[in-house]
Amino acid sequence: MRFLLVAIASIAWSLTILRWSIARARSPWRNRVIVVSLVAVLVSVISIGGDVRSIWLRWRAPRSNVTIDIDDMGQWWQLTYRRGTRALITANEIHVPAGALVLITWKSPRFAAWSAHDFLPNDHDGSFFFVAESTGVDDVVVLSLWPPSRRRLRIIADPPPLFERWFDNEMTPAKSDDVGSRVFASAGCTYCHVVRGVSESPWKVAPELTHFGSRRTIASINVPNQQGFVSGWVVNSRALKSGSEMPRNAVDPAVLRQLVAYLESLQ
C-alpha cells in the first residue's frame, strides 16, 4: 500500500510537470522534461499495475491458516510454521499450499525481504502475504555484496492435499534407530542439531534435522541432498559453501558412511 500511494503521487507530479512543460513551449528544456515525465508516468503505471494485481490476488485467494516465520540465522534460514496451536521448525526449504494466502514474517539483522512494498533502509523485520499461483519450485536469492553470501531459499508450492501430507509428516518425530542415533551422538552432531524424538541440542545453533532425508538440498539449497555431497559436507562444509560455520570433522570412513545413511533415512 505504501508503494501504491507513492506511485500515484509520482504520476500526479509527473503529469503536472508535463502539463507545465507543454504550456511553456519556448523553453529549451521542454523536450527533455516531456520525455522524462512520460518515462516517469510509464514506470509508475507499470508499478501500479503490479501492485493492483497483488491486491487482487490477495483478495481472491482463500486464506490459509499457515504463518511462516523466516529467521536469518547467519548462514542458514530457520523456518517456523504456525497453524493454530501447532508449530513446526525446519530449515531452508519453504513448502506452501498453492493458491492459498500465506502470511510470512521476516526477521533479519542483515537483509530486508525486498519487494515493491519494502523500500525503506534498515527495514529488516516485517511481514507480507504470499500467494503461489501454481504448483512448482522457485528459488529466492539473497543479494549480499559484503560479506559475500551464498544463501538462498527454496519455495516449493504443493497442491493443498500434498502440502497437508507434508506438514503432518514433518510434525512426526524421527523413527527410532539405535545404531544411527548412537553414531549421530558419537560424531558430536547432537551439540548443535535437533532430531525430534532422538536428540535435543543444548545450543540449537544449526538446522533442525528431524526429516533431513526428505529435503531436496543442503547448504542453504546450494548443494543437492545426495550421499556424496552430504559426506563432503560433514567432513569439510566450507569446501562446498564458503562462510559455513560448521567445523571440520575428522570422521572414520566407516563411521561416516553410517552417519550419512542415518541422515538420509530421516524421512
- For the question of whether the overall pTM of this predicted structure is more than 0.85, the answer is no
Are 77 and 215 in contact by the 8 Å Cβ rule? The answer is no
Top mean pLDDT of 11-25, 35-49, 141-155, 240-254 is at 240-254
Answer yes or no: is pLDDT of 116 > 50: no
Which band of pLDDT confidence, cut at 50, 70 and 90, is reported for residue 115? very low
Which band of pLDDT confidence, cut at 50, 70 and 90, is reported for residue 194? very high
Which residue ranges make up each domain of the chain? 2-60, 63-153, 178-265
Pick the CATH number of 178-265 from 3.40.190.10, 3.30.43.10, 2.60.120.20, 2.60.40.420: 2.60.40.420
Of residues 69 and 201, more confidently modeled: 69
**What's the pLDDT at 121?**
40
Q: What is the pLDDT of residues 206-228, one digit of tens each?
A: 999 999 999 999 998 889 999 99
Provide the percentage of residues in the chain whose pLDDT is more than 70: 66
Q: What is the pLDDT of residues 21-75, one digit of tens each?
A: 555 555 565 566 666 666 666 666 666 655 555 555 555 656 678 999 999 887 8
Mean pLDDT of the chain: 79
Report which of 63, 95, 65 is spatially closest to residue 79, judged by C-alpha positions: 95
Q: Give the pLDDT mean for 141-167.
A: 81
At 187, the amino acid letter reads A
Per-residue H/E/C for the chain: CHHHHHHHHHHHHHHHHHHHHHHCCCCCCHHHHHHHHHHHHHHHHHHHHHHHHHHHHHHHCCEEEEEEEEEECCCCEEEEEEECCEEEEEECEEEEECCCEEEEEEECCCCCCCECCECCCCCCCEEEEEECCCCEEEEEECCCCCCCCCCEEEEEEECHHHHHHHHHHHHCCCCCCHHHHHHHHHCCHHHCCCECCCECCCCCCCCCCCCHHHCCEECCCCEECCHHHHHHHHHCHHHCCCCCCCCCCCCCHHHHHHHHHHHHHCC
**What's the pLDDT at 73?**
86
